[in-house]
Amino acid sequence: MKLQFVLLALLVSSVFSCSQKEENTSLPVVEFSSEKQKLSYSLGADYAKRVLNSEIDELVEVSTVIENFEKSLNDSDYSYCEETLLDAFGVNFMDVDSTKKKQGSECFGKVEASGVYKWLKQVNQIDNIDLNYISYGYRDALLKRDTLINQ
């Protein structure tokens, strides 16, 4: 009886995981030609896991966050976004204003990317990372695509 339950659970989970992957098949599979690219991709995916674990992804427009993350991996000052984030999502994302979700999502992506960039710069690793691949990893993780790297 337990074996049948385990087999049924595996079948259901495999069907569910396949259906999740189909949603994001329009994006190309990321190809790697260096360890630097793999490390960068993994770093981006890991950074996005924090967002997923806190369930912020359910409160923001994920596509808008990704778009602005990709454009904002730089040294720009996005401090003006603090007020926008507070207006759109409240303190600790506890008071979401759906009418300001788009602007809040834009700022969330900018602040996330800027934070990664500034951290890499602070630890003198910016030259050892491929920023495009950080974006790919972040995007794939937020879209709940498989982010495991085959050897």
Q: What is the pLDDT along the chain (151 residues), one digit of tens a residue?
A: 433 333 333 333 333 333 344 445 578 889 999 999 999 999 999 999 988 998 898 999 999 999 999 999 999 999 999 999 999 999 988 999 999 999 999 999 999 999 999 999 999 999 999 999 999 999 999 999 988 776 5
- DSSP per-residue letters across 30-71: PP--SHHHHHHHHHHHHHHHHHHHTTGGGTS-HHHHHHHHHH
Q: What is the crossing angle of helices 101-122 and 62-71, to 10°?
A: 40
**pTM of the predicted model as reported, rounded to 2 decimal places:** 0.79
